[in-house]
A and B are shown apart, each in its own frame.
Chain A
Amino acid sequence: MHKLLIKNELLGCIQCGRCSAGCPVSLRTALSPRKLIYKNLRESRKLPKSQDIWSCTTCRTCQQRCPKGVSVMDYIIGLRSYQVERGKIEPTMRDALESILKHGNPWGRPREKRTQWIDDETDVRILSEGEETDVLLYVGCTPAYDPEIQKSARALAKILNDADVDFAIIGNDESCCGNEVKRMGELGLFEMLVEENTALFKKYKFNTMITISPHCYNTFKNEYALDFEVLHYTQFLKKLLDEGKLQISASIDKKVVFHDPCFLGKQNDEYDAPRELLKYLLTDEDNLLEFGRNRERSLCCEGGGGRMWLEVESESPRNAEIRIDDAKSIGAEIVATSCPFCQLTLNDAVKTTKSEDKIRVVDICSLIAENKFEETEMEE
């Protein structure tokens, strides 16, 4: 029996099918975790060669729902890593991984341009080796390079400055956190990043790290052995609010719905901080709507698990499109989220469902910044 089956408790499986029933991509692709397990246990104890595993978004729904404690998602990631070891990986994912190895980011962008998101109006301190700060803002690859998401990074920096937080960033030496690397099955590269990043963080003195992406947050918090506190920015801003260091006045009188990012919600049980922040922004708390599928049942946007660099064949609409349709049907005007990937997938879905005049997808920190600093770049 392969050690992957033992490690992930596959023998405990009772074939109840809860995993597949909850799987957001089994709706639109051939991936069925239950079937995969069945085949692997009944038909052949060799690892299945199925390509279906690549449509998994590593949202963790299956693993969370399994009544028998089978580590379904970890098993799928394990299967990927066996394929990766044999060089079986889609070229787009391979390119992203190669770029991380070479440039420290998956987007094929030069390392020297990692701080390009900082514009003239954004005041951010870049740490030199040995320097000290209270809060280290880990920017992350997508907020650093994607012009659309750079807005979130700038918004957050402005908010932190306004709240007099002593914060700084690492600058061009910052590298990919590796969350997606691990989930694409490139475990060797992931280990290397863990080592390098851990050594990098030791060069500076700080108490708390905050991240913009829940993906970075997840891996730093759960998969590194770090000796400082790691928070997602929504958690940190909520703390500032509670301590009276951040003031938000109610100004939005639109109907808002929050899309739970899998890596903040399902994977890290943080459902409340973003909602609390939104409540402060709304003129009427009742305007905070909820999706039918929310919190631990939130429909994954398909941005995780390396799927930013892999398209799957399907006749059915993307989950992000379903999400936007759901938002429209409950009468939401703003879909707020707190994850760069969710922002990108949902925003794209706004376009493909032709909903531009009905729905706006926006990051919570951009909403707060707009609220606080009237003439902001975000409104453009």
Chain B
Amino acid sequence: MNKDIFVVIEHRQERIADVSYELLTKGYQIAEKLGGEVIAVLLADDGDQMAQSLKSYADKVLYIKNEIFKNLHSEYYCDALSSIIGERKPALILFGHTVDSFEVAPALAEQLGIPIISNCVDFDIDGDFVRATVPLYGGKINGEYSFNAENGGIISVIPGAFKVENPQKSGEIEKIEFTFEKEYDDKEFIEFIEAAAGEIDITQAEKIVAIGRGVKDEENIDMIKDFADSIGAVLACSRPIVDAGWLPKERQVGSSGKTVKPKLYIALGISGAFQHISGIKSDTIIAVNKDPNAPIFKVAHYGIVDDMFKVIPALKAKIEEMK
């Protein structure tokens, strides 16, 4: 079996998808076992900056440059990847299981004549074999699949399956100006359409500042909104705030509101009723509450027991200072 792990980086509008970082992190666990390296494979046109931001996550960034890679075109992707992979023969090639890779990964496997398991939530190596866990029947049961990876293989993993950790590497960037022998004119990229910016969709927010009855008065909301803006967060709330008519229903988090999955959730003056917290799927919850016995502290990763009206200005000042 070969040793290196290739992670094919997914990006759109010059932004790298989270799943790519997740795969790089997982890649290290596997590479360690194999004694190999993790290599981020970036197919891009204007990719210098993206390559830079990948450096600390990989032993090497293989930046394959061509104008065509500005947008996803699966045929060109496959041709470039199969040529590079054919040359360098990594142990495994990892993709996010996303609409982008649906088009590329299986075709690539076919082109290279190597095995693939798609839609995985986990995988590991076991001698010459790769074993992967794949949810079936809408996640009701998991299937275990494996293939012989002597000649390499492809795994595509559902976003969110692994946590991201920065290994603090400083991988070199190898830039390859790629040229194509074959042209494909049956498919053409027309336009990138941004999702309509309508009412704020809190389910898509990366940072949320949520308020509860602790905010006391409608007048105090402006100040919290300022604080949220200052850290680029979206304002959300518990149900009583909607009941009072202080924020619209779209902002309600909970079992009868929205389920949110931000990276950071700051709960201000929220007691943490089950109906509220069952709508929070976040890696980092910070709670500010006067009452040390408030149930929110049972789910929070960090807690501040104090008056939110003292904490917010202090926090805001500190954040300004750090900017």
Contact = CB atoms under 8 A, between A and B. Distances in A.
Contact of A102 (B139, B239, B295): B139
A146 B140 contact: no
Interface in A300-316: 308-311, 313
A348 B259 contact: no
Interface in A315-367: 318, 344, 348, 351-352
A140 B294 CA distance: 24
B273 A148 contact: yes
B274 A101 contact: no
Interface in A88-117: 92, 95-96, 98, 101-102, 107-109
Contacts of A107: 255, 274, 278
A234 B229 CA distance: 51
B198 interface: no
Contacts of B293: 380
Interface in A264-292: none
Interface in B246-298: 249, 252, 255-257, 259, 273-275, 278, 293, 295, 298
B256 A102 contact: no
B201 to A, nearest CB: 12
Contacts of B298: 147
A120 B255 CA distance: 29
Contact of B256 (A92, A98, A380): A92
Nearest to B254: A92
Given A348-B239, A351-B240, A380-B293, A147 B255 contact: no
A310 B239 contact: no
B259 A95 contact: yes
B243 interface: yes
Contacts of B213: 351
Contacts of A98: 138
B256 A308 contact: yes
B319 to A, nearest CB: 31
Contacts of A92: 255-257
Interface in B142-199: none
Nearest to B298: A147
A287 to B, nearest CB: 30
B211 to A, nearest CB: 15
B278 A311 contact: no
Nearest to B135: A102
A107 B15 CA distance: 34
A351 B252 CA distance: 17
B249 A311 contact: yes
A101 B140 contact: yes
A263 interface: no
Given A107-B274, A108-B278, A311-B249, A147 B295 contact: yes
Interface of B: 138-140, 213, 239-240, 243-244, 249, 252, 255-257, 259, 273-275, 278, 293, 295, 298
23 contacts: A92-B255, A92-B256, A92-B257, A96-B255, A101-B138, A102-B140, A107-B255, A107-B274, A107-B278, A108-B278, A148-B273, A148-B295, A149-B274, A308-B256, A308-B275, A309-B255, A311-B239, A311-B256, A344-B275, A348-B240, A348-B275, A351-B240, A352-B240
Interface of A: 92, 95-96, 98, 101-102, 107-109, 145-149, 308-311, 313, 318, 344, 348, 351-352, 380
Given A101-B140, A348-B239, A348-B275, 5 more contacts: A101-B138, A145-B274, A147-B298, A344-B275, A352-B243
